[in-house]
Chain A
Amino acid sequence: MILFIIKRVLAGFALLFGVSTATFALVYSGGGDIAGQLLGGDAGPEAVAAKARQLGLDQPLMAQYWHWLTHAITGDLGVSWYSSQPVLPTILQRLSVTLSIVVVALLVVTLASVTIGIVAALRRGWIDRVLQTASVIGLALPSFWVGLVLVIVFAISLRWVPATGFVPFQESPARWFASIVLPVVALGLAAASATAQQVRSAVIGVLEQDYVRTLRARGLSGTRVLWGHVLRNAAPPGLTVLSLQFISMVGGAVIIERIFAINGMGSLAVDSTLKNDIPVVVGVMVVMTVVVVLINLAIDIVNGFINPKATVAS
């Protein structure tokens, strides 16, 4: 297991280097008048040239990359060209907002999808059909539309929760909950629907195995068979789907953050790209790569514990 983790960590570093290099090359070689765009419409050519010099844009690309890389290794991802804020603390602050929503959404998705998936797989019949239909509908509804409807009903009409914004947990747990409840539902609905289908299929697949029939024949209770054997064996595909859903939700948060005016990683990525705030764009890519690598590593480790064959196979 240790060797497995070391291999994964090394692969993660290689991926991080590749992604950061590719991102840097892409955004810096994109062309366009970055300095002029940062200064806005009224700035004259002299001001634009001075800004380009100040940002180091007059230097060769390799020199700019080397400067960035040598600082990035020490944890210094630079300063935003737009807001003058240091990049890493800005990203970490935004990441905490997005993760706050996505982690809760993942929790809700896990609870809902496992419950729905197990009930559908065990009961079958009309309950299965109803839950499957509901899952398909949940999967088909666009998250932005769900978000807008939720805002209209619960924030504007009923005024139960705020329509926009995010309140940090440490500021007020109650207001934090109120600020994330709608984004979590909007973000998690499709994910829960997709994962429920996956859990249902996995559970049905295991239930149809010979050893389950044998366990039942030996007199084990349905609960023990379910929790002790069926779910344990159905878990790996479910976990894999959940890890993919997590990554997908981090990406999908872009739209949800826009609708709810929540300034998380998605908004930061979009805004910094639109503003040509390249240090932030590169920083976002680096941090997101780290997040994805860590999630995959965590899922691999958990899978390894649940099913040791997975570790050997990989």
Chain B
Amino acid sequence: MPKFPLFLTALLASAVLAISGCSAGGAGAGADTSTLALAAAVDNDTFDPAQLSGGQKDNYWQAVYDTLLKLNYQTMQPEPNVATKWSYNDDKTVLTMTLRDDVKFSDGTPLTADVVAKNAIALRDGKGPNGYMAASLADATAPDPTTVVYKFSAPDPAFLGYLTTTAGAVANPKAIGTPQIATTPSGSGPYVLDTAATIPGTSYTFTRNPHYWNRIAFPYDKVVITPIVELSARLNALKSGQVQGAIIETAGIDEAKASGLQVKSQSVDWRGLMLADRNGTRTPALKDVRVRQAINYALDKNSYLANIERGHGKPTTQIFLPGSPGYVDALDSRYPYDPAKARQLLAEAGYAGGFDLVMPAFDYRSGVQPVMVQQLAAVGIRVRIESVVPDQYNSVMKAGKYSAFWMQLTSGDPWRNAQKTLPAPSAWNGFRVDDPEVTRLMETARRAYGDDGAYAKAMGDISTYVVENAFFAPWYRIDSFYATDGSVDFTFSAWATSPEIRTYHPTQ
């Protein structure tokens, strides 16, 4: 009994201390301009450059790794960073880059050309999620400490763009190939991971890299990234001043704006259907281009966007982004909502009575599903929805188990988009449909690379062919949202759903 009052007194004292000091504990990160506190929607999985997967995990590795090039958001062209200049040979199979001579890793080890070459080979051979970025790399060598030479088996129009992202991250040679590289990074980037202040899965603290060559470009002395999966918790962290910026979803926009948070958006990912079984392996009807076009006509995409997505996006029929080589403005009006036209095309294809189509459930990702099923039924396409374990959705789709399925894919570099979806051995061509015309058009684009006009035309020809032949049924590019508490500002990259670390700066 006598211990209870003592305990309660201690508890009360702690409470008073906690409450009086709560500004430091709760909102302190937001008030301190030397610290950038961000919430991420996903946890980090690795710091190994050869295994990075990018997307919403970008901020973690961007803090510790510098990229060889960086993306100019106005021109959408790469510009110098660690590499100061570069040139291709005539047939675009040899890329020679010159590196800065003053770049060091966080332990003082110089970043030299042979290290860059070693990283490139590690990316190619690492079989990681972004290994495809180095798939055409035959070799990488370093004739001198500031010159790296990449040799390709075939020209890769997206390679310079890749060097602005994960493929451009360079790890310390002492770390490459060690198990520690996944958890304890050693890079030449603006910050180093403070392992003492970091609890993996809970919060990651980065402090300045004393050897960083471009310190002035990064205003914050410390960066803290906290993975917070739940949207409501992310919003609460923003509203209470615990973090200064966080990616949010459509469901949180009204709450964020009502709470005085600053919300920016941009359209990067496209949503719609992938009509994957273009050989008619599982669903013979889909082999006929008129059937695939009919599906495009049958769906009222603008209505989905206006009423279900609440206008947060822009209609499209293409997988390429506006402003990128290959985007053809006129194609976006190619398939207006026209059920009569859809029925006519189905009849011409011999499916006047319709056909059966099995699709995986996606209602947990989009409210469009029941309307889509209804509209396809209205033109005679009888959709049967099957349940798929949500977390296995992507892998099941890539395995070619469904002829047509809903998907959200990131648009970005158009060549990268084409590589991921069109060739027979690509990640999103689950039925391994080998279209000779696609191969020819992509070869033409590959050869045209280097001549901006010819390359844009060749990529435009790819987009036109893909849209005309209804490889997909894109509906719209959906908006991605990022909210801040007003103490920081940032610039969106047109090719990413979350801002790069280098773009954050204090508003005052």
Q: Is B250 located at the chain interface by the 8 A CB criterion?
A: no
B25 contact set on A, CB distance < 8 A = 161-162, 167, 172, 174-175, 178-179
Q: Is B26 located at the chain interface by the 8 A CB criterion?
A: yes
Per the CB 8 Å criterion, the residue count for chain B at the interface is 64
Q: How far is the CB of B435 from chain A (nearest CB, A)?
A: 18
A163 touches B201 (CB 8 A): no
Q: Is B74 located at the chain interface by the 8 A CB criterion?
A: no
Segment 149-203 of A: residues with Cβ below 8 Å from B: 151, 155-156, 159-167, 172-175, 177-179, 181
B242 touches A163 (CB 8 A): yes
Do A164 and B228 form a contact, CB below 8 Å, given A37-B395, A159-B23, A159-B241? yes
Segment 4-25 of B: residues with Cβ below 8 Å from A: 11, 14-15, 17-19, 21-25
Whole-angstrom distance between the alpha carbons of A82 and B200 in the complex?
Answer: 11
A51 contact set on B, CB distance < 8 A = 127
Q: How far is the CB of A234 from chain B (nearest CB, A)?
A: 17
B233 contact set on A, CB distance < 8 A = 163-164, 258-261
A84 contact set on B, CB distance < 8 A = 45-46, 48, 179, 182-183
Q: Is B486 located at the chain interface by the 8 A CB criterion?
A: no
Q: How far is the CB of A194 from chain B (nearest CB, A)?
A: 23
Q: Which chain A residue lies CB-closest to B420?
A: A42
B395 touches A155 (CB 8 A): no
Q: How far is the CB of A164 from chain B (nearest CB, A)?
A: 4
Per the CB 8 Å criterion, the residue count for chain A at the interface is 56
The count of A-to-B residue pairs whose CB atoms sit within 8 angstroms is: 186
B130 touches A42 (CB 8 A): yes
Q: Is A21 located at the chain interface by the 8 A CB criterion?
A: no
Whole-angstrom distance between the alpha carbons of A275 and B44 in the complex?
Answer: 12
Q: Is B451 located at the chain interface by the 8 A CB criterion?
A: no
Q: Is A93 located at the chain interface by the 8 A CB criterion?
A: yes
Q: Is B263 located at the chain interface by the 8 A CB criterion?
A: no
Q: Which chain A residue lies CB-closest to B183?
A: A84
Q: Is B131 located at the chain interface by the 8 A CB criterion?
A: yes
Do A173 and B14 form a contact, CB below 8 Å, given A93-B199, A162-B22, A179-B25? yes
Q: Which chain A residue lies CB-closest to B45?
A: A82
Q: How far is the CB of A109 from chain B (nearest CB, A)?
A: 14
Q: Is B358 located at the chain interface by the 8 A CB criterion?
A: no
Whole-angstrom distance between the alpha carbons of A83 and B11 in the complex?
Answer: 37
Query: A-contacting residues of B (Cβ < 8 Å)?
Result: 11, 14-15, 17-19, 21-27, 39, 43-46, 48, 53, 55, 127-132, 179, 182-183, 199-203, 226-230, 232-234, 236-237, 239-242, 259, 389, 391-392, 394-396, 398-399, 409, 420, 425-428
Other contacts beyond A36-B394, A85-B183, A175-B25: 19, CB < 8 A: A32-B396, A33-B396, A37-B395, A40-B394, A42-B420, A43-B132, A44-B425, A45-B398, A47-B127, A47-B132, A83-B45, A151-B240, A156-B236, A159-B240, A162-B26, A167-B25, A174-B14, A263-B227, A267-B201
Sample (13) of A-B pairs whose CB atoms are under 8 Å apart: A36-B395, A37-B394, A47-B129, A160-B19, A160-B22, A161-B26, A162-B22, A163-B26, A164-B226, A164-B242, A174-B17, A178-B26, A261-B229
